[in-house]
Structure 1
Amino acid sequence: MNKQKKKYLLIALIYIAFISLGLPDGLLGVAWPEMRSSFSLPLDALGIILIGSTSGYLLSSFFNGFFIKKIGVAVLLSLSCLATGLALIGYTLAPFWWLLPLLAVLAGMGAGAIDAGLNTYVEKHFNEGLMQWLHASFGVGITMGPIIMANGIKYSNSWRTGYVIVGIAQIILALIFVLTLSLWKDPKNKKTAGTNKNKEQEQEMKLIQTLTHLPALMSILLFFIYTGIEMAIGHWTYTLFTESRGISTALAGFWVSTYWGSFTVGRILAGFLAYKFLSRKIAKYAAALGLLGSILVAVNLSQWLSLLGIAITGIAIAPIFPALISSTSYRVGKEHTTNTIGMQISAAGLGGALLPGLAGVLARNISLEIIPIFITILFILFLTINNLIKKVTDNDVKKAA
């Protein structure tokens, strides 16, 4: 096999891996009503599972660089897919509820290593265009997840079927990584590798300074809120539509998939928009459109307007995450960019677990109808903080001039 064919095969594997990364995230929202019924759980117990998976995700992604240096990216990806697959199948075999959060930690560790490992590898060896499509492929996986789970429940009358299918797929992917180890050989890095102790100390000081830099803290908060919005919609929309608004499981499952599908389309289109518009403007106007979609769901004027609102929100918020990453230096300054990006990713993971969990607590104590109102408030908070960052940044520029 020549170098060109090897390159294309490697790119295909990278895309498949990122699709597989999205599959488990799309399962839980549809499976949750059946899962909690199986274990006689309260509505907001979903938050405990999300906290478990997020804890594992943050742990593995934090130590990603260390593991890649020790065992290489291909072995890391193989072990991560294996861990994720075993955890998903473990869900179906668990006799007690308390095992689910523990298995969620393992699944989160696998997902975190896959996410961080692939992003690191692609950033180092491929261009920005491939990185954009990489994140779009995640949307393909998370769109397929609800379809797999909804059909598993429909034809087998059990949520366990969907998890078994995706778990087996993850294990097969782990085997594929093992069989293609030679494709992932890390060529010599052309970047200067040498760093002295003074530079390391300087980096440590910059981290401390970033933690006291107001625009950086607000930027981190943007990621916390954004991912909370994204995952709260994905996890709770199906339950809202089926248990509170009487929409059939098939139709609700279809529209949850439409949400993730719109999300994918929006991210693909954003790759083209990025050549014509500033990333910070894309993030701002996309959030405003997402606010409109969330209001349509919250006011619940009709079933079809609510369903349309979900689709609008999905396509609107899709470009926000990559746009926020791309405009980090504008918000915080180049000297804080490297430190801030890492903290933003961590905040995104926390927001994706804590805010949907909080939505569940509110739903249990008030009503499921509070969830779209909660999401609308988060959108307003996001836009407010984003505008505050612009004011602070503009003032800093004027002072420096």
Structure 2
Amino acid sequence: MKIQRPANLGLILLAFIAFVALGLPDGLLGVGWPSIRASFAQPLDAIGLFLTASVVGYMGSTFLSGMLLARLGVGRMLAISCLLTGVALIGYTLVPAWWMMAALGTLAGMGAGAIDAGLNTYVAAHFSEGLMQWLHASWGVGVTLGPIIMTLGLSNLNTWRFGYLVVGCFQIGLALCFALTRHMWSRHTAAASAEPEIRLTDYKTPMSTTLSQPRVWLSITLFFLYVGGEASLGTWTYSLLTESRGVEPTLAGFFAGSYWFSFTIGRIVAGLIATRLGVHRLVLGGLTGAFLGAALLLWNPSPLANVVAVAIIGLAIAPIFPALMSGTKTRVGDHHAANTIGMQMTATGFGIAVIPSLLGVFARRMSLEIIPICLLVVYAVMIGVYIVAVRVQKPISIASNVEAEHS
């Protein structure tokens, strides 16, 4: 395990601030969407184009992140990525046509993907696992603040552009910080590379072999459904409350913020109790809580029940992603873990693009009230898929041992 040095405190703080900034735009869209689509005269499901464009940019930059890190270095790549994101976000407030905003979404996705991959790679290489958990919790801080910033802009200035302008300027300021500290990142990387490291076993399993394993597809499906459900509630809560349930916009904005707030709290708490409870209990408990929260949101016995339901879901799902990631080797076996992890990350991109967009199509053709029904289905299916994946763990372990003995 790597030891964090006081000399690196500035870099650690900058990494945390960067992940807060990474979460801010994700929190803006859900609250801002009704006003955004009204200003561009777009239908409810037009958000699908925007999400798809953003995910294409995100997946492209994460795929190329290794090459970019090698050529540019960590500090320079983070500076360019933040600048790219900031320019795109400010561009949202200036463009006159919807297709232009969608095109800028690709640019913003590219910047966000490079920041995400660059920081994750750097922290994983040079700091402890505990710091990685807190880093992802700081993303929750950003995505919690996003709805609040957007709500303030809508309620006080009657414009969604305020939120993107504030966050865009913040990103450009962060780009300047990364540019000024780029040599510090390089020096720390060089010093760390001179130290002995414990390396994970590297299995050179052909991708075709991994793709032939049903258990691998179960694992990929879990990530596709999880991230799709997480993004769907964050995207559609505000629209559901304001356009279907008559909740006052300012109050609905804080309701939407409660989702990400409870998500952040849940991830912090999970980091403290994960070792004691274990991966299986965290995942199954989280999915059960999310299912019950979705059921309460569907039932809707009172306005207060909305915020309680949203908060329950946020709290429940918080530990699921890192727990599923930690349990990958157990589900699919040592020899397929590396390939599967890469495909799981790809599945998250598809989940973000497909499931919220599909919910938008359903909401436009039927009603926004279809959203809690779809969420209920997503979490029910996840519970079923996860139980199947857990039940095949023993055969997987045996098969892995046999493969190891014959290799």
The alignment's TM-score, normalised by the length of structure 2, stands at 0.93
Instruction: Give the equivalent residue in structure 2 for 1:352.
Output: 352
Instruction: Give the equivalent residue in structure 1 for 2:101.
Output: 100
1:38 aligns with 2:16: no
How far the C-alpha of 1:398 sits from its partner, in A, is: 6.1
Instruction: Give the equivalent residue in structure 2 for 1:336.
Output: 336
SS at match of 2:206: helix
Distance 2:273 2:156 in 1: 41
Instruction: Give the equivalent residue in structure 1 for 2:85.
Output: 84
> Residues 88-130 of structure 1: CA distance to partner in whole angstroms, max 9, x if unpaired?
0111111111111110000000010011110000000000000
**What amino acid is aligned across from residue 49 of structure 2 in structure 1?**
I
> Residues 196-245 of structure 1: CA distance to partner in whole angstroms, max 9, x if unpaired?
xxx99x73x43221111111111011000000000000000000000000
Q: Please show how residues 1-400 of structure 1 align to structure 2 within 5 Å.
A: 4-185=5-186, 186-187=189-190, 188-189=192-193, 190=195, 203=204, 205-397=205-397
Distance 1:377 1:305 in 2: 20
Distance 2:397 2:139 in 1: 37
Relative to structure 1, the CA distance from residue 398 to residue 78 in structure 2 (aligned partners, 3 Å threshold; closer, same or farther) is: closer
> Residues 250-280 of structure 1: CA distance to partner in whole angstroms, max 9, x if unpaired?
1110111110000000000010111202113
Relative to structure 1, the CA distance from residue 139 to residue 298 in structure 2 (aligned partners, 3 Å threshold; closer, same or farther) is: same
How far the C-alpha of 1:394 sits from its partner, in A, is: 2.9
Relative to structure 1, the CA distance from residue 215 to residue 264 in structure 2 (aligned partners, 3 Å threshold; closer, same or farther) is: same
Distance 1:51 1:272 in 2: 35
SS at match of 1:165: helix
**What amino acid is aligned across from residue 261 of structure 2 in structure 1?**
G
- Please tell me whether the aligned partners of residues 6 and 183 of structure 1 are also in contact (alpha carbons under 8 angstroms): no
- Please tell me whether the aligned partners of residues 55 and 350 of structure 2 are also in contact (alpha carbons under 8 angstroms): yes
- Please tell me whether the aligned partners of residues 333 and 396 of structure 2 are also in contact (alpha carbons under 8 angstroms): no
**What amino acid is aligned across from residue 172 of structure 1 in structure 2?**
G
**What amino acid is aligned across from residue 243 of structure 2 in structure 1?**
E
**What amino acid is aligned across from residue 332 of structure 1 in structure 2?**
V
**What amino acid is aligned across from residue 379 of structure 1 in structure 2?**
Y
**What amino acid is aligned across from residue 246 of structure 1 in structure 2?**
G
Distance 1:108 1:4 in 2: 32
- Please tell me whether the aligned partners of residues 84 and 106 of structure 1 are also in contact (alpha carbons under 8 angstroms): yes
**What amino acid is aligned across from residue 228 of structure 2 in structure 1?**
G
SS at match of 1:247: coil
SS at match of 1:28: helix
Distance 1:245 1:46 in 2: 20
> Residues 48-89 of structure 1: CA distance to partner in whole angstroms, max 9, x if unpaired?
100000000000001110100000011111010001000001
- Please tell me whether the aligned partners of residues 54 and 105 of structure 1 are also in contact (alpha carbons under 8 angstroms): yes
Distance 1:316 1:217 in 2: 24
Relative to structure 1, the CA distance from residue 175 to residue 224 in structure 2 (aligned partners, 3 Å threshold; closer, same or farther) is: same
**What amino acid is aligned across from residue 285 of structure 2 in structure 1?**
Y
**What amino acid is aligned across from residue 223 of structure 1 in structure 2?**
F
Percent of aligned positions with the same letter in both sequences?
Answer: 48
Distance 1:84 1:90 in 2: 10
- Please tell me whether the aligned partners of residues 220 and 347 of structure 1 are also in contact (alpha carbons under 8 angstroms): yes
How far the C-alpha of 1:390 sits from its partner, in A, is: 1.5
**What amino acid is aligned across from residue 24 of structure 1 in structure 2?**
P
How far the C-alpha of 1:17 sits from its partner, in A, is: 0.5
How far the C-alpha of 1:355 sits from its partner, in A, is: 0.3
Distance 2:369 2:21 in 1: 32
- Please tell me whether the aligned partners of residues 80 and 110 of structure 1 are also in contact (alpha carbons under 8 angstroms): yes
> Residues 285-338 of structure 1: CA distance to partner in whole angstroms, max 9, x if unpaired?
111111000100011122111221110000000010011111111111111111
The alignment's TM-score, normalised by the length of structure 1, stands at 0.95
Instruction: Name the count of aligned residue pairs.
Output: 393
SS at match of 1:176: helix
- Please tell me whether the aligned partners of residues 331 and 396 of structure 2 are also in contact (alpha carbons under 8 angstroms): no
**What amino acid is aligned across from residue 181 of structure 2 in structure 1?**
T
**What amino acid is aligned across from residue 213 of structure 2 in structure 1?**
H
Which shifted more, 111-120 or 301-310?
Answer: 301-310
- Please tell me whether the aligned partners of residues 333 and 397 of structure 2 are also in contact (alpha carbons under 8 angstroms): no
> Residues 2-36 of structure 1: CA distance to partner in whole angstroms, max 9, x if unpaired?
x9543111100010000000000000011100000
> Residues 175-209 of structure 1: CA distance to partner in whole angstroms, max 9, x if unpaired?
00001112201125246899xxxx99x73x43221
**What amino acid is aligned across from residue 75 of structure 1 in structure 2?**
R
> Residues 113-171 of structure 1: CA distance to partner in whole angstroms, max 9, x if unpaired?
01111000000000000000000000000000000011011111110011100000000
RMSD over aligned CA atoms reads 1.9
Q: Which runs of 5+ in 1 are unaligned?
A: none
How far the C-alpha of 1:281 sits from its partner, in A, is: 2.1
